[in-house]
Every structure is written in C-alpha cells, then in structure tokens.
Amino acid sequence: MEPDEPGTSGVATKIMPLAFPKGKEKYCELCQREAYIQCSECQVTFYCNADHQQADWVGIHERICQMLVPIRTMKDMYDPSVRKKNQHLIKICTLVAQSKLSEGKGEEALPAAHCCLQTSIDLYGPNTIQLVPAYILLAEANMGLGNLAVVAELLSQAEWAVLKNPELGASIQQQLHRSLGQFYTTTGNLETALFHFANDIYFACEEYGLDSSATTKGYFLIADVFARQGKTLIVHSLYSEVCPCTHFNTKGIQDYYNRLLSQRVEMEEMLRVMLEFEQKQSRRDVNHILLGLCLFPCQAQDFASTALQASLQIPKHKLTEPIQELLQQVESLQTEPQPGFA
C-alpha cells in the first residue's frame, strides 16, 4: 500500500490477518485492534488503518523505526543488551512525548506515550512500579485531548502502584500528585486539586530543592487553583515565588537541550499567564481606587492632606510631589459637575 503522503508517513503494506497462525495475531500499535497494515521499513509494527499508521509515523515511529527491529526480534528480555535497548527506547519516547506536550501537541504525543507504556510493560512486566511514569505520561497526553475517562483509569492504576510501594522515592510521588492535581482542576474539584498540588510541592522540594523548576511549576499550578477560587492575595504571593525561580532555572539548564526546549516553552507560558493576571488585577485595582475617589472625595481629600503634612516633616524623600498631584486630582473631582445633578 502506498502512503497517503509520500516521504512523510513512510511505506506501508497490506497484510491478511488470517495468514498468521493462532497465537501470532498482529494488533494495531495504537489501539490494539486487529491489524491490516504493516510498516514495510521495519516490518515489526502493525496498524488497523492508514490513519493510525500516519499518526504513529508523525508522532514517534519515524524516529525509532529501525531501532525497533532488534528489540522486537530478540525475545530474551533478560539479555543485558536487549534490556539496555528497551531502556533507551523508553527514554527517547518519554523525551519526544514531553516535548510535544510542552508545545501543546497532545495528539502527536499519544503515539510516543503509548510506545513508552508498552515498552515498559515488556521490560518490567504488568502492574509494576516502573510503569508509573509511563501511566502518568499517557494520562497527560489524554488530558490535553479531553479524554478524562481514560485519564482517570490511567491515574488510578498509577496511584494503586504507588500505594503498594509506600517506600517509593519522592520523584514519582511528586509526578503522580501533580497529574492528579491537574486532573481534579480540569474536572472542577478544586479542593482535592489543592491537596494534590500541596503534596506535589512538598515532594518537589524534597527531591529537587526549593528553587528547582519542578517546585516552580508546582507554585504556578496551585496559584491557578486559587485564582479560580478568587483568592487573589494568595495568587500574588505564589507568583512572587515563581518569578525568581524561573529566572534561576532558565540559566541553570543550558546543558540539556531537549529538556531546555520543553522547559523554555513551559516557562514562557507560565510567565504569559502571570503577566495577564497581573495586568487584569492592576486594572481592577485602579478601577477600585477611582470608584473610591468618586464616592468618597471628602475622605480622600482628608487622607491626602494628612499625608502631605506628614511628608513635609520627613527630610530627604520623594513623596511630596506625588501626594500633591493626588490632592489636586481629588480637588478637581469635587469641582467638576457630576452627571445627573444641576
């Protein structure tokens, strides 16, 4: 079969499912349905239709096509060389999926996340603690696409694996709490989201330190929940923790290009959201001040006059001129005719 877009999706050929003996059936790389298409480049990956073959090629397969040949033709998972190849494949799939997620390409991240989980199962077996990062990665990809039922199932499996291993390190627990926090934020369960983000920050500090990018993102995510609850003072406080840490980490990750790229996109998005919040809040604060001046001009004039007198008694400061300008504005408001009054 010819590809839909030559040079983009690779070359695929049709297969006959009935031609394979019992127990050797071939299934789609992405959905595990019966396969009708085979990648003719590596001949070890199969798909149910051309759309899934195209999606896998764009998402991850073009990069790992030839790498899969020795991995899937050598069956001895206890062979050190085979295990090493599988571990390398997991690392590549993880980096590719994370990079695409940071760019907002959830659809393209799915094939890499699927491959990461399947390879982890092949290497470590089902229901093992080593699968947790892959569950979380696949859940994050589905979350961006709104597949919340799938996300809930994946995170429940990850949570169960963590509960069975209470001595687990802080890193995986931090990742799990972050994903759970994001899930409950999406579903509107804000109090539960706050609980998980608080644990996220705790484990991030324990594992990476107070000024790490992981901790910074935790502050940002929990601030978003408080913003949804209208608690602006808490949001301001948390954002003040994010900004200096962001500057520090931008300087500190120059040696890791792949991670730097995804973190840079992530940091730019965080800074954009914080800037928009502060701009909206500043306009709201100015409006409140103007409203107060209009409703209570006499009180405003009294406060300004008192402040001016106090400033005149303090040497070497620069407050007198701004206070005088404020007083003039208040007095002008009192002399201007108000709409609706004769």
Domain ranges of the chain: 1-73, 75-166, 169-294, 296-335
Question: What pLDDT, on the 0 to 100 scale, is given for residue 54?
Answer: 94
User: Residue 321 has what pLDDT?
Assistant: 72
Query: Mapping DSSP to helix (H, G, I), strand (E, B) and coil, where does residue 232 land?
Result: helix
In the block, tokens 């499996």 appear at 157
- In the block, tokens 């120059």 appear at 254
pLDDT at 24: 84
- Give the pLDDT score at 3: 44
**Helix extents (H) in 65-187:** 68-73, 80-102, 106-124, 132-144, 148-163, 170-187
Cβ–Cβ < 8 Å for 73, 44: yes
Residues of the chain with pLDDT under 70: 1-10, 243-271, 274-275, 277-304, 307-308, 310-311, 313-320, 323, 326-327, 330, 333-342
10 Å CB burial of residue 1 (0-12, 13-18, 19+) is: middle
Return the H-helix or E-strand segment holding 228: helix 213-228
Three-state DSSP at 47 gives strand
**38 — phi, psi (to 5°)?**
-125, 140
pLDDT at 7: 39
How far is residue 330's CA from residue 287's CA, in Å, rounded to a whole number? 15
Token output for 297: 């001009």
pTM: 0.70
Find residue 12's DSSP bridge partners: 39
169-294, CATH topology level: 1.25.40
pLDDT at position 102 is 85
Hey, what are 210's tokens? 């107070």
pLDDT at 114: 96
Residue 168, pLDDT score? 79
Distance CA 276, CA 227 (A): 12
For residues 342 and 278, what is the distance between their CA atoms, to the nearest angstrom? 40
For residue 186, what pLDDT is reported?
Answer: 95
pLDDT at 297: 55
Distances (CA, A) of 294 to 120, 283, 291, 332, 341: 66, 16, 5, 11, 14
Q: What is the pLDDT of residue 191?
A: 96
In this prediction, residue 333 carries a pLDDT of: 58
Residue 226: CB atoms within 10 A of its CB come to 19
CB atoms within 10 A of CB 49: 15
